[in-house]
Chains A and B, each alone.
Chain A
């Protein structure tokens, strides 16, 4: 049986608090009653087979998909409050979410302005520098490699210093320098009090960063536990069995 409510933080200190989140597409429930909470500085590594509902969950938390049922608070602000809640969230997705005709700097600066940051140019420079892509920041995004585009995309997602950072396979396409920059940037965000939700198929990568780990299956959390309670090799074999059984 999946856990009914999984919580790592008392509600008063939660950065994100989801309760009974459901998202249905017609008769199919892509996310089916997910509840969890994360406190400041915590990181949840979310694993699961394709079609388990991970991306749908992330899109709901980002305010891009309205839940069919349930509620979610980000830093105490209900996602239903729309614009205010969305301003607290950053999203790194499969797609770069960038404009190819604009430079990396213009893309990140545009995001900074849309979030109303004071000094958008300086904020963009900081974010691009954190992702070690400042030297290519003035080139059109379409001329950059996939990995560099991913770095700019991450810079765009962190430029407003989100309270909740949602990352869907953020390491995809990154080289060693990019991966190190991302790990460092995620660490800085967590040190600043942000919570992180990391979706990945790479268990080692996810568990290395996580304070909590969860496996999602058929729209539900099949497992949710503290990282300290997880034995990586055992977890890996159990995960493989679960994915194989799901296929």
Chain B
């Protein structure tokens, strides 16, 4: 019999890191999803900018909503690709055949998606500041923390639905249809918190919204991690 005793399958976190690193390497080589998301974000901002009547709505009132709508939809492009790259030559079979827990695959995919969404945010945030002439510098740090919290929620739900939708004929349509209703609490909480940050309101005013965001992240990261194996088991 072959000696397989030397091989020690990676633990959950190590396997998740391997999957994330592989996904990021693929995205770095192709850059298709990132550039698509960037172009989408910038075009979206431009459209919102030209549709905006500055005499009717103040920039500081409009910017938070625009920011989170742009983040949400551009993030979907990355989520769509997350399991799309596994479908091309049924690489998913090799991934599922590996001696690692299914949860590790989900966590790895989610980690790569968070890096993707964060990358889009890094470019889109200054663009919003530029288009709407909103002073983001003073609130850059809390805004970055908020963006990360929101990204975790979006990615937790989106990664699970991406795995579910990828095997269907209407994957491009199904992912937004499934995900967007779940993104609603995140977008609401993030936009409300952003509005308060930009207006220089006290942190206590934003706290109730932040609590929603934190609770959402906690519940959906755990629930989606546990649900993932059932979405890929045949």
Show the binding face of A for B, using Cβ within 8 Å: 15, 40, 59, 62-66, 75, 82-84, 86-89, 91, 93, 95-102, 106, 110-111, 113-118, 140, 156, 160-163, 189, 192-194
Instruction: Give the contact-size bracket for chain B.
Output: 20 to 34
> In chain B, what residue has the closest Cβ to A23?
B234
Show the binding face of B for A, using Cβ within 8 Å: 1-4, 6-10, 15, 18, 22, 25-26, 29-30, 85, 88-91, 93-101, 233-234
> In chain A, what residue has the closest Cβ to B229?
A82
A-B contact pairs, 30 of them (CB 8 A): A62-B93, A63-B96, A64-B93, A64-B97, A64-B234, A66-B233, A66-B234, A82-B101, A83-B101, A86-B99, A89-B97, A91-B93, A93-B93, A95-B90, A96-B89, A96-B90, A97-B91, A97-B94, A99-B22, A99-B88, A100-B89, A101-B29, A102-B22, A102-B25, A110-B18, A114-B18, A116-B99, A160-B4, A160-B7, A194-B1
The 8 closest A-B pairs by CB, nearest first: A87-B99, A95-B90, A193-B1, A114-B98, A97-B94, A116-B9, A101-B29, A83-B99
Q: Are B1 and A115 in contact (CB under 8 A)?
A: no
Q: Given A113-B18, A194-B2, are A98 and B89 also a contact pair (CB < 8 Å)?
A: yes
B residues less than 8 Å from A64 (CB atoms): 93, 96-97, 234
B residues less than 8 Å from A95 (CB atoms): 89-90, 93
Q: Are B91 and A99 in contact (CB under 8 A)?
A: yes
Q: Are A75 and B1 in contact (CB under 8 A)?
A: yes
Q: Are A118 and B88 in contact (CB under 8 A)?
A: no
Q: Given A86-B97, A99-B85, are A116 and B8 also a contact pair (CB < 8 Å)?
A: yes
Describe A's contact surface by its main secondary structure.
loop
In whole Å, how far is B81's beta carbon from the nearest beta carbon of chain A?
A: 11
> In chain B, what residue has the closest Cβ to A157?
B94
Q: Are B98 and A101 in contact (CB under 8 A)?
A: no
Q: Given A66-B233, A192-B2, are A114 and B89 also a contact pair (CB < 8 Å)?
A: no
Which of B3, B8, B100, B234 has a CB less than 8 Å from the CB of A65? Answer: B234
In whole Å, how far is B84's beta carbon from the nearest beta carbon of chain A?
A: 12
Q: Are A193 and B9 in contact (CB under 8 A)?
A: no
B residues less than 8 Å from A87 (CB atoms): 4, 7, 9, 98-99
> In chain A, what residue has the closest Cβ to B233?
A66
> In chain A, what residue has the closest Cβ to B3?
A161
B residues less than 8 Å from A118 (CB atoms): 6-8
